[in-house]
């Protein structure tokens, strides 16, 4: 393992697959102690085994982050277990795409709560300790949908525009405390995220579009996150917008 993050503690949400899983592994390979949070305990246990094989000391935190108390709990448990939290990667999220006129508002409400409010709750819980220690990294995962709003993605874009705006406002609140805030906005990534789409026609169209390009892989995004949190203390990477080379919008 690389020593770049030795003695640093990270918490990754949505760590049971995709970007979260790849990020947990990348941080562990860089020497960090890593707490992993998600709903699926079986997947977390499997990933924890892979982290132990790397010599890491994973903390498994099953949690339903739709509950803001759970988002706060996982931060508290990480700090109790390891004695600190240096890196928070807010990756948990869902993507529900459908026409506004046909929208399931209950589903959209859950998306807003998970993609935005849960992220805010975990961030709020982490700030006190980071400020007291004089530093830390908060990395929020947004999307190109937080830059360009497309038909069928109104609510999803609203959540990701919200994450981008929240991240910039937060950065300006905490930069003097040595806390760095980064927002990473990937384009099309080959993950389970598209499986969440309940509208069959929209899902099929999106999969056909994505299938026609060389998609980003979770490791590509994980490497970007690792780059953000391994900069020297005087360097803060505030925003990274990344797309597959083949993606136009």
Specify whether 156 is catalytic. yes
Neighbours of 69 (CB within 10 A): 11
Place of tokens 């949400």: 13
CB < 8 Å & 24+ apart, contacts of 51-55: 51/24, 51/25, 54/1, 54/25, 54/28, 54/29, 55/1, 55/28
| 23 and 91 Cβ atoms separated by less than 8 Å | yes
CA 199, CA 219: separation in Å to the nearest integer?
28
Neighbours of 235 (CB within 10 A): 9
Token digits for 199? 């509208």
Edge-to-edge, what's the strand order for the sheet holding 179-186? 59-62, 33-38, 9-13, 87-90, 136-141, 179-186, 239-242
CA 189, CA 247: separation in Å to the nearest integer?
11
From 82, 96, 156, 175, active-site residue: 156
Place of tokens 């998306």: 111
CA 196, CA 82: separation in Å to the nearest integer?
34
CA 98, CA 68: separation in Å to the nearest integer?
26
Please list the active-site residues.
Answer: 156
């Amino acid at each position: 393992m690389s020593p770049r993050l030795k003695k640093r503690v990270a918490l990754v949400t949505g760590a049971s697959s995709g970007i979260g899983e790849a990020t947990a592994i990348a941080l562990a390979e860089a020497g960090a102690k890593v707490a992993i949070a998600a709903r699926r305990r079986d997947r977390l246990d499997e990933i924890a085994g892979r982290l132990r094989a790397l010599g890491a000391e994973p903390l498994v935190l099953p949690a339903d982050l739709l509950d803001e108390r759970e988002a706060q709990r996982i931060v508290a448990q990480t700090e109790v277990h390891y004695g600190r939290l240096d890196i928070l990667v807010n990756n948990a999220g869902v993507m529900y795409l459908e026409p506004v006129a046909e929208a399931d508002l209950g589903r959209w409400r859950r998306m807003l709560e998970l993609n935005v409010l849960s992220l805010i709750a975990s961030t709020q819980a982490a700030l006190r300790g980071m400020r007291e220690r004089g530093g830390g990294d908060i990395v929020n995962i947004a999307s190109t949908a937080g830059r360009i709003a497309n038909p069928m993605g109104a609510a999803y874009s609203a959540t990701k525009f919200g994450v981008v705006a929240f991240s910039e406002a937060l950065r300006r609140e905490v930069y003097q405390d040595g806390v760095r805030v980064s927002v990473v906005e990937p384009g099309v990534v080959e993950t389970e995220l598209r499986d969440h789409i309940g509208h069959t026609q929209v899902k099929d169209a999106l999969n056909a579009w994505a299938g026609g390009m060389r998609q980003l892989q979770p490791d590509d995004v994980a490497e970007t996150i690792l780059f953000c949190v391994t900069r020297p203390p005087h360097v803060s990477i505030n925003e990274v917008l990344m797309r597959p080379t083949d993606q136009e919008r």
